[in-house]
Amino acid sequence: MPNLRVGERRWPVDVASNLLDALHQAGIAIPYSCRAGSCHACLVRCLEGEPLDARPEALAAAKREQGWRLACQCRVVADLAVEVFDPLKDGMPAQVIGCDWLSANLLRLRLEPQRMQRYRAGQHQVLWSANGIARPYSLASLPGEDPFLEFHIDCRHRGAFCSAARQLQPGDHLRLGELRGGALHYDLDWQERPLLLLAGGSGLGPLWGVLRESLRQQHQGSIRVIHLAHDSTEHYLAGDLRQLEQQHPQLQVRLVTAVELQAALAELRLLARQAVALVCGSAVSAETFAKSLYLAGVARNRVLTDVFLGAGDTVR
């Protein structure tokens, strides 16, 4: 049986044990959300030995060279010594400069990092609360234009990070963890194509950044934005979207609820053949959008989807 070591602790584990499970069973509360290698909350650094990694491509080459691995994707096949991501040592400090409610359930969080990092619209960032709660969120800010990092936090459901976020005030501090690229981005090769941006709930956050990036790059094709919300009060960026719509003739915005969704999606059929679609939201809304796009004739390889995780978080 291989031995697993964290700090001064060493214990035997079964061959091919999942690293995240082995750490939890030993009482080491490493955070996680997705268990699929997407959220990057379960980072550990390998100090000695090498686990069997099911998704080596999930981390950037530079991260892997530093020894970082995603615990949920690794199995212990030989003696292994690791250290858990420590937000105080490994994370970047960031100060809360804005914390306001855009609707009854949607919290807009703006952070000023100790040093501005390079990122692109639509990427994800792991946020660490002061009491050690980790949670990945999509960036809603636009690099090079917004002097802060912006996140849209859906607080409708219970979650440890949401509970902590409700208490935040300007001047409070968080730590920034892993920054990673998601499926959502803007590509200059799409300039002439119709661009479809379909969001459910707070899935509008990353698409808000992507939309502004496409307009900054002077996108030539038509742009259609559909935001699906539980009710009209949850269209939390309605004013900003309408303002952009007035300024850019190629942009059309539809703010819909579930009963209005199919009619709005049907309007996309004339654009579907050449369109690129970006989809973001819960698993249910993303599946609804994806099916409609398929039936409308949008090629599968031109549909980029980012499915938001559930509300659960783990306290470290």
Q: How many CB atoms lie within 10 A of CB 11?
A: 12
pLDDT tens-digit map of 93-102: 999 999 999 9
Q: Specify whether 165 is located in the same domain as 270.
A: no
The string of DSSP letters for the chain reads --EEEETTEEEE--TTEEHHHHHHHTT-----S-SSSSS-TTEEEEEES--EES-GGGS-HHHHHTTEEEGGGEEE-S-EEEEE--HHHHSEEEEEEEEEESSSSEEEEEEEESSPPP--TT-EEEEE-TTSEEEEEEB-S-TTT-SSEEEEEE-SS--HHHHHHHT--TT-EEEEEEEE--S----GGGTTS-EEEEEEGGGHHHHHHHHHHHHHTT--S-EEEEEE-SSGGG-TTHHHHHHHHHH-TTEEEEEE-HHHHHHHHHTTGGGGGG-EEEEEE-HHHHHHHHHHHHHHT--GGGEEEEEPP-S--EE-
pLDDT over 80 (residue 113): yes
User: What is residue 198's predicted lDDT score, i.e. its pLDDT?
Assistant: 98
Task: State whether 79 and 97 are in the same domain.
Answer: no
Distance CA 226, CA 276 (A): 14
- The whole-angstrom separation of Cα 217 and Cα 92 is 30
The larger pLDDT score, comparing residue 253 to residue 307, is at: 253
Supply the pTM of this predicted model: 0.88
- Measure CA of the first residue to CA of the last residue in the chain; give whole Å: 27
In a domain, 80, yes or no: yes
Give the pLDDT confidence score for residue 29 in this predicted structure.
81
- Which of 133, 156, 182 is the last residue in one of the domains? 182
Together in a domain, 163 and 243: no
Same domain (yes/no): 101, 211: no
Average pLDDT, the chain: 92
Q: Does residue 313 fall inside a structural domain?
A: no
Q: Is residue 312 part of a domain?
A: no
Of 37, 54, 85, the last residue of a domain is 85
169 within a domain of the structure (yes/no): yes
Does the pLDDT of residue 313 top 80, yes or no?
Answer: no
Q: What pLDDT is attached to residue 137?
A: 93
Question: What pLDDT score was predicted for residue 310?
Answer: 56
Residues 284, 199 within the same domain: yes
In a domain, 316, yes or no: no
- CATH number of the CATH domain containing 224: 3.40.50.80
Q: Could you tell me if 108 and 58 lie in one domain?
A: no
CA 197 to chain centre: 16
Q: Examine the domain organization and report whether 142 and 131 are in the same domain.
A: yes
> Which residue, of 85, 100, 127, is where some domain finishes?
85
In a domain, 148, yes or no: yes
SS3 35: coil
Q: Domain for residue 270, yes or no? A: yes
- Domain of 33: which CATH number? 3.10.20.30
124 shares a domain with 70: no
Q: Does residue 199 sit in the same domain as residue 303?
A: yes
**What's 102's domain CATH number?**
2.40.30.10
pLDDT digits (tens, 9 = 90+) for 264-303: 998 888 888 899 999 999 999 999 999 999 888 898 899 9
How many domains are contained in the chain? 3
Same domain, 64 and 114: no
Are residues 76 and 104 both part of a single domain? Answer: no
**Domain assignment of residue 208, given as a range:** 188-307
